[in-house]
Amino acid sequence: MKNIAVIGAGTMGNGIAHTFAQKGFKVQLIDISQKALDKGIATITKNLDRMIAKEKISEEDKNNTLGNISTFTSIKEGVEYAELVVEAATENIDLKLNIFKELSEACSEETILASNTSSISITQIASVTKRPDMVIGMHFMNPVPIMKLVEIIRGYNTSDEVTTAIMELSKKLDKVPVEVNDYPGFVANRILMPMINESIETLYNNVAGVSEIDTVMKLGMAHPMGPLQLADFIGLDVCLSILNVMYDGFKNPKYAPCPLLVNMVRAGKLGVKSGEGFYDYSESKKAEKVAKQFS
């Protein structure tokens, strides 16, 4: 594979584009919004500059990486030569089903279609295409250029050939792929989200404060970041939506989102992206300080 189309230039899409381009793949980055594409390229440039400052890459590597990325606002034009499409658009089921219907028509018959969804069923996404055996989950972690794991999700109909090809490709990106089956939350979020939800429940029940809960988990369990801070980074709206997918999918009350999480999302406290969640990110310096722990 040489040509990779990435749909969505947001948090994950620009990281995925960056990672493929740095490894020499030609990337067609597609977004409905020109503004999102410009912002995505600016973020990739900033992240490459940071890598130069840390002497991890050279100026030439940066130029080659940026030279490997072209941008498109039309899916049809962007996927014309793609051997793999990685969809990283907004987490909304109807939106993703429409994108995959379009991809099924617009892509060559040999093109593998992957989704970076955090929670939506790969089997359901595959069902709207004419090639369900060639649809797979490629769940990168945030921030993509740094995090090693890619959760590879096999839909009900995903073929062995496609799974092997995507596992091998992930290794070429210097990532560690782990194959899992397609059930709500897959593995990463099925385990992570109940922990985050329980941390919010612990706060809601007034057992301890935000920094106390995070400190217990950081120093007691050797987690690099406390669960409430991690929830702020993921986005509280995203955490709520994943919990709801698991609650609906398993019909099990243990996945019911904590009322405090529901209230915070209703109040627009979404974490880092809105400037406030469990922590206050209103001053840019504060956010930078927290972000540094992650890079």
Ligand X SMILES: NC(=O)c1ccc[n+]([C@@H]2O[C@H](COP(=O)([O-])OP(=O)(O)OC[C@H]3O[C@@H](n4cnc5c(N)ncnc54)[C@H](O)[C@@H]3O)[C@@H](O)[C@H]2O)c1
d(CA 19, CA 173) in angstroms, rounded, equals 7
- Verify binding: residue 13, ligand X, rule CB under 6 A: yes
d(CA 40, CA 18) in angstroms, rounded, equals 9
Helix axes 236-250, 259-266, angle to 10 degrees: 130
Which two three-digit tokens encode residue 65?
């990486």
Tell me if 271 is assigned to a ligand binding site: no
One-letter amino acid of 228: L
Binding mask 135-174 for ligand X (x = CB under 6 A): ----x--x--------------------------------
- Verify binding: residue 258, ligand X, rule CB under 6 A: no
User: Closest CB to ligand X among 9 and 134?
Assistant: 9
Name the helix (H) or strand (E) containing 262. helix 259-266
Select from 28-36, 162-170, 193-201, 203-211 the region that touches ligand X (CB under 6 A): 28-36
Catalytic site includes residue 139: yes
**Taking the complex as a whole, how short is the minimal distance between the CB of residue 67 and ligand X, in angstroms?**
22
d(CA 75, CA 241) in angstroms, rounded, equals 26
Select from 9-17, 125-133, 195-203, 210-218 the region that touches ligand X (CB under 6 A): 9-17
Q: Is 188:141 a contact under the CB 8 Å cutoff? A: yes
- Verify binding: residue 101, ligand X, rule CB under 6 A: no
Pick out the residues of the known binding site for NAD(+): 8-13, 31, 91, 96, 118, 142, 273
As annotated, the active-site residues are 118, 139, 151, 189
